[in-house]
Amino acid sequence: MSGVLDFLVEPWDQVFMRRAFLVAIMSGVVCGVIGTHVVLRGMAFIGDAVSHAVFPGVAVAFVLQANLVVGGAVAGLVTALLVAVFSQNRRLREDTVIGVFFAGAFGLGIVILSTAPGYSGSLESFLFGSILGIGDSDVLGVALVGGAVVVSALALSKEIVTVSLDRETARSVGLPVFWLDMALYAMVTVAIVISLQAVGNVLVLALLITPAACARLLTDRLGVMTLLAPAIGALSSVVGLYLSYALDLAAGGMIVLTATVTFLVCWFLAPRHGLVSRWRARSRPSQVDGDEDDRAAAVSEEGTGASSAG
């Protein structure tokens, strides 16, 4: 028992681990809340696209020796605005417009970085995360920005869901569809940017999508899903960090793997929508029919026996 307690307490004795836990938990919560809307809308592609879209901003910030996160946020928001504008043309699907602009943004980032010698090593933390090297200012920044994103998402939740379910109905009741699209793109961008330090550009999609996908399997109610997704995201981040500390493995990768294992468990064992439950639901009618046949046979035998006795 004492060994388990020591394992749980030991990482918190390290200042860098305390910062890592705080940022990981906050990133998991923010991505869980925003990921709920992304999964409901079927926009998983946008998470990967935004992670590419922030790249030119990071490249410019690197060349100018400015803050990489701020540069990425600006680039992501500008690209999100362009997608929101061009997506209003119903001739093109939303995912098509996203693919065009975010792929173009990533290409622009590569071109910009090619002008700066020795860039690859310096951007390793951006690509794969550097959660163990986070400072106090980073923790405060994630807390403030992440809190603002969560509050905004909860305040606009009803309207964003309405637009996601039926855009034409949303327009007919007077909802500002364009601005709600823009708000969602902006929140996705910010959620991804503040999570880059935790898991990096390569893995950030998993933190945005996987916890929300788990919650989607566990409940049919949006309110419950909005609570479950951030809880799963935060728990996966904490467990992943513990495993990373104990096994001396990459923190970002362990966080994502923990979330993925959680998804697999939900996919198999979710109460109503898991594989086991669906298998039982399919087999239950035949089992009931078999039981009824057995009962009918027993009644028939009883009746025959009674007639013979008479």
Per DSSP, the residues of 92-136 read: S-HHHHHHHHHHHHHHHHHHHHTTSTTHHHHTHHHHH--GGG--H
List pLDDT tens digits, range 245-268: 888 888 888 999 999 999 999 999
C-alpha distance from residue 287 to each of 208, 281, 282, 293 (Å): 41, 10, 10, 10
**pLDDT value of residue 306:** 42
Rounded to an integer, what distance in angstroms lies between the CA atom of residue 272 and that of residue 63?
Answer: 52
Mean pLDDT within 104-115: 77
* Cβ count within 10 A of residue 88: 12
List pLDDT tens digits, range 274-303: 888 888 888 775 544 454 454 444 444 444
* In the predicted structure, residue 4 carries a pLDDT above the cut 50: yes
* In the predicted structure, residue 307 carries a pLDDT above the cut 80: no
Rounded to an integer, what distance in angstroms lies between the CA atom of residue 202 and that of residue 44?
Answer: 15
Q: How far is CA 293 from the centre of its chain?
A: 48
* Across 47-61, 147-161, 184-198, 290-304, least confident range: 290-304
Which token pair is 102?
């975010």
Rounded to an integer, what distance in angstroms lies between the CA atom of residue 243 and that of residue 280?
Answer: 34
Q: Are 103 and 111 in contact (CB under 8 A)?
A: no
Mean of pLDDT over the chain: 80
Which token pair is 54?
């922030």
Residue from 10, 42, 12, 38 nearest 24 by CA: 12
% of the chain at pLDDT higher than 70:
84
* Cβ neighbours for 238, distance < 8 A, ≥ 6 positions apart: 21, 24, 25, 28
Mean pLDDT within 63-72: 77
Q: Say whether 43 sits in a helix, a strand or coil.
A: coil
Residue extents of the structural domains in the chain: 13-204
What does the DSSP 8-state code read for residue 272?
A: T
Higher local confidence (pLDDT), 3 or 281: 281
% of the chain at pLDDT higher than 90:
25
Residue from 213, 215, 230, 151 nearest 183 by CA: 151
* Across 48-62, 214-228, 231-245, 280-294, least confident range: 280-294
Question: What are the E-state strand segments in the chain?
Answer: none
Amino acid 74 reads V
* Cβ count within 10 A of residue 95: 15
Q: How far is CA 16 from the centre of its chain?
A: 25
pTM of this structure: 0.78
**pLDDT value of residue 117:** 64
Q: Regarding the domain with residue range 13-204, which homologous superfamily does it belong to in the CATH classification? A: ABC transporter involved in vitamin B12 uptake, BtuC (1.10.3470.10)
